[in-house]
Amino acid sequence: MNNRIELMRVVVPPEASGQRLGEFLRRRGLSRTLINRLKNTEGILVNGQVRWTIDPVFAGEEVVLLLEDEPSSFVQPEPIPITVVYEDDDVLAVNKPAGLIVHPARGYRNGTLANAVAYHLQQQGLEVPVRPVHRLDMETSGLVLFAKNPWAHNVMSLQLERRLLRREYIAVVSGHLWPEDGQVNAPIRRVPNHPVKHEVGEGGRPALTYYRVVRKLKDADLVELKLDTGRTHQIRVHMAYLGHPLLGDQLYGGPTDRIQRQALHAFRLRFRRPRDGEEITLEAPLPQDMADLIAQLEPEGQG
């Protein structure tokens, strides 16, 4: 039997009195697709009674949304240890180690972060699909956010689209950036005839990255970066475009003698909690390999 998840419970405020139920729900961030799914499963209740989306709602009435979630059939739960940074009824944030792919793909059907999250949810009695809100490259470490139900995924996807979900990274790049505080606004496209590599070039999708040097190292910079867009390999491509590829990033020309993966970590995540809009800020400490790298590159007399 499918789970019935309570997605929302809200009292109609005076200013919304007289609105059609469908309009009332859309103004609270629900997509038409999700509203239709709720309607078709009799999951929209007003004062405990099933109601249609064309019906009006009135001040003081209580609207409750109940969604039937489908069992997960495409991600096998696996008891892989994960570090949970934050969790509530709607979202789950995990600190992903480098070397772990986020979601099953060709050649990686098992042993992924999604398999681990599926197991974590299963232990809570939730047989639901795993829904990453965003992703990280396999060799990038740091915070990844998952939604635990379709409504939360819809809300968080809209936050991502509207720049309300903010992702911040820390990286070690080769050489010294100048200016030390700036932005890269350059479109990114696939490299023709290459399976994974991307590049800056005409016809690419718009991409904007903000960066700030936080510490000068020996022949390298420690840099904080913020994404305004979320293109594949965006930070790696933009830093290489400036002539300062990430250390360890062999694909984009970074030196690999000190670290064996791109020195990139998603250390901070900001978003609004789906249920009440409270702003949440999460942080994940630097992994040991990056901390060791920075220590090795400290100029003499520092550290």
Say whether 292 is catalytic. no
Phi and psi torsions of 160, nearest 5°: -65, -45
Residue 169 and residue 116 in contact, taking contact as beta carbons nearer than 8 Å: no
Helix boundaries (H) for 13-72: 21-26, 32-40
- Asked whether the beta carbons of 121 and 79 are under 8 A apart, the reply is no
Residue of 69, 137, 221, 249 marked catalytic: 137
Q: What's the maximum distance between 2 C-alpha atoms anywhere in the chain? A: 72
Bridge partners (DSSP) of residue 270 are 166, 281
Please provide the DSSP assignment of 146-188 as one string: EESSHHHHHHHHHHHHTT-SEEEEEEEEES--SSSEEEEE--E
User: Which residue spans within 175-276 are E strands per DSSP?
Assistant: 181-185, 188-190, 198-200, 208-217, 220-227, 264-272
Integer Cα distance of 260 and 263 in angstroms: 9
Q: Which residues are catalytic?
A: 137
